[in-house]
Structures are given as C-alpha cells and as structure tokens.
Amino acid sequence: MEKSGLISLLTLTPVTALELAQSLKAKFSDVVSDPAEFRGELTLKISDAERLPGICAVAKKDLGFDYLVDITSIDNYGDDPRFTLVYHLYGYGHGRYLRLKADVSEEKGEAPTVTGVWRTADWHEREIYDMMGVRFRGHPDLRRIIMWPGYPYYPLRKDFPLAGRQSDAPEVAFSEPAPLAGGPFVTIAGGKDTISREPRVRIPETDAIEMNARVERRQDLKGARGQAHGPGPIDKGRKGAG
C-alpha cells in the first residue's frame, strides 16, 4: 500500500473560497446573490430553484466542486416560501467549501434534482422527500427511505409533533409483496401457538378462515384493552394477507 495514492490531494491548488463564490455569481448574476460570510463560510442564495441543476453543473465542472457533502432542508414554518434547500459543496482539488441555498414554496412543493450532477444526491433527496415532503423532479426513484412506504406524514415539518400522530403500522416495510409471501414455507404471524403457526399443518384454502378468525380475535382484544397505547399501535388496521 503506497502512501501517495492515485490522486494526491494534500497539495491543494491555491484559490480562495471567495474567488470561487464570486466567479459562480459572475456566471449566474441574475439568480445568484452576493456571497454572505459567517464564521468563515460562504453562502450563496439562489433566487430561482429551477436553475439549480445548471448552477451545480457549472460549479462541478468549471469550479471543481466535485463532492456534494450534504443536502438539507429547512422548514420555515410561517414564512413564505416555506422550504429552503441547502446544498453543501466541497472541492477536493482546492479544499474549499461553498453553501448554496434555494427556496421552495409550499404550493409548488418541488425542485429539480441534481442527481445528474452528483450521484450522491440520490439518497439525500429521497430523505428530504421523506422527512419534509419536497418532491424532486427527474429523480430516478423518489420514494420514502427512512419511514415505511405508506407513511402519511412528513415528520420534520414544524407542524408535526415530536411524539407523532396515529398512522397505520407497516404491513411489510416493502411496498411490493415480500419474497415467498403466502407460500407453503412461510409461517403465519400472530397465531396462538407454534403449532397453529407451523406451515406444515396449513391448508391453503382455509387460510382465509384462519385470517378472519385472527382479525376478529384481535378486534376483541383491542376492545377489551381500550384505546391503544401511544402513537401507531402495531396491530391497528392489519388486514389479512392476500
């Protein structure tokens, strides 16, 4: 193993972050603001989120910001536009950071994707969609990544309480049928003991009867116990598997 790898970056090209930010502003002076500085970091505000992919492509190819560190979203609850997207860029060649901010209003609720520029944006944008509800146009696979598919809320919004709200528990945390689901080698969850759950004793035609019986038993239990405990009770709304 050699000390100097294929790309040696410990010798950085000398250019300041301010020069890079100003050259980006010069290229897009109609939408990019002047660089604002706080604690040694530069932030550029972009007034039109639709121009983001173009600006990011220029930042990557011409200015050398080849590493997208992070994409974040902020909920400015009560302000309009409601959401702010924050992009953190870094360049390995020059070792400088840059922050881009763009606003997305609640009515529009979407922004163009930058996965064409950096492929790491894929999961970051999925997480923003999951947590904040901002859609990304052109994203290859925009679906929830942290909460289960079918979760109805966007948790990081300011009007969503920390303790959460009632929702249906996940059937399977996977929107397509699970592998081998319902097949001859799969147990039925929630049977009263191992013998009844054992796949060998199952007769597939009577599965429906068994499922209904189980659902009724659960309804009885829920009635006896009263309101379920805490947000999102696990057995609420379970339907019999198909």
Partner 1 sequence: MHAQTEIGYNSKVEGDVVVTRLDAAINWFRKNSLWPMPMGLACCAIELMATGASRFDISRFGAEVMRFSPRQSDVMIVAGTVTYKMALAVKRIYDQMAEPKWVIAMGACASTGGMYRSYAVLQGVDHILPVDVYIAGCPPRPEALLDALIKLQNKVAKEPVLATWKKVA
Partner 2 sequence: MAELREIELPDAGARIAQAEELQDLHGEKMVLNMGPSHPATHGVLRIVLELDGEIITKATPEIGYLHRGDEKIAENMTFTQFIPYTDRLDYLAPLANNVAYVMAVEKLMGISQQVPPRCQFIRVICAELARVSSHLLGLGSYAMDVGAMTVFLHTFTEREKIYNLCESLTGARFTTSYTRIGGLARDLPPGWTDQLRKFCNEVVVDLDETETLLTRNRIFVDRTQGVGVISGEEAIDYGLSGPNLRGSGIEHDLRKAQPYLVYDQLEFEVPVGTAGDCYDRYLLRIEEMRQSVRLLHQCLDKLPGGPVNVPDGKIVLPPKDRVLTKMEELIHHFINVTQGVNAPAGEIYFGHENPKGELGFYINSKGGGTPYRLKIRSPSFVNLSILPKLLPGHMVSDVVAILGSFDFVMGECDR
Half-sphere exposure of 166 (CA within 13 A, CB side): 7
Does 171 engage in binding with partner 1 (CB under 8 A)? yes
Which of the residues 33 through 72 are near partner 2 (CB under 8 A)? 38-39, 41, 43, 66-70, 72
Distance of CA 180 to the CA centre of its chain: 28
Piece in contact with partner 1 (CB under 8 A), picked from 62-70, 134-142, 153-161, 207-215: 153-161
Whole-number CA gyration radius for the chain: 25
Piece in contact with partner 1 (CB under 8 A), picked from 43-51, 64-72, 185-193, 215-223: 185-193
| Cβ nearer to partner 2, comparing 60 with 214 | 60
Distance CA 94, CA 96 (A): 6
Which residue has tokens 């909460």? Answer: 147
Does 186 engage in binding with partner 2 (CB under 8 A)? no
Peptide bond into 81 cis (omega under 30): yes
Amino acid at the residue 15: V
Neighbours of 215 (CB within 10 A): 15
Which member of 15, 57, 58, 147 binds partner 2 (CB under 8 A)?
A: 147
User: Residues interacting with partner 2, by CB under 8 A?
Assistant: 1-10, 12, 38-39, 41, 43, 66-70, 72, 74-75, 86, 88, 92, 95, 97, 99, 118-120, 122-124, 127, 131, 144-148, 155-156, 160, 162, 173-174, 178-179
